[in-house]
Amino acid sequence: MKSIIVILGLITAVFTLKVNAQHEHHNMDQKSMDHSNMTMEHNVDKTFQQQLVEVVMANQKLNEAFVTGEVGKVKKAVENVESALSGVDMKLLSGEAHMDWMNQLKILNNQIETMKSASSIEEQRKAFVAYNETLYKSVKAFGVEDQTVFYQHCPMANGGEGANWLSLEKEIKNPYYGHKMLTCGSTAETIQGL
């Protein structure tokens, strides 16, 4: 009888550990996708926000190029993003905001260079993952003047790790799979311009 009680106790302990582990994993997934509690970090000049909107608008064309799956179209669209980025005047920022933008701009430019020099759409899409995360941080940190931006997520992209992108359209048009799985994904966050 004692051995049955011990065995039942062990089974209960293992079951409890497994349930707790699954609960923790679910909580971690929720934390990684819950961006709604993030607020604009820097109070910046509206002109800077308008210039950032120009980048987001150029980025929309980049999304559309990725949907086609054509390397050449992506390279052309990337050049437009690069041009819009060069029009963002960092002299409108000071202190910590200036430093944050410089760090984000460096990452954006590195990923843009990778997308421009890549010979395959797969290489371009890999750089697009890091580029989008940084662009998202910029939009969240500095805000976008009078513009609604949708932060969208595809759970299958990036080798099954999932990947995000910013869009000006609520309708899902997946840049990571294009016409293969055009509507695969969901809107994780809606960012309202201030």
Q: How confident is the model over 94-128, as pLDDT tens digits? A: 999 999 999 999 999 999 999 999 999 999 999 99
**119 lies in some domain:** yes
Structural domain that includes position 49: 45-192
Q: Which residues of 158-190 are buried (b: 16+ CB within 10 A; e: fewer)?
A: beeebbbbbbeeeebbbbbbbeeeeeebeebbe
Domain count, the chain: 1
Mean pLDDT confidence for 141-153: 93
One-letter amino acid for residue 116 of the chain: K
Mean pLDDT confidence for 47-58: 96
**34 lies in some domain:** no
**17 lies in some domain:** no
**14 lies in some domain:** no
The pTM of this model reads 0.78
Following CA atoms 103, 88, 71, 123 in sequence, which dihedral angle do they give, to the nearest 10 degrees? 10
**11 lies in some domain:** no
Please tell me the least confidently modeled range out of 1-10, 15-24, 59-68, 149-158. 15-24
CA nearest neighbour of 59 among 99, 97, 108, 121:
108
**125 lies in some domain:** yes
Q: Which residues contact 83 (CB under 8 A, 6 or more apart)?
A: 58
pLDDT category at 145 given cuts 50, 70, 90 is confident
Q: What percent of the chain has pLDDT over 90?
A: 73
**113 lies in some domain:** yes
**21 lies in some domain:** no
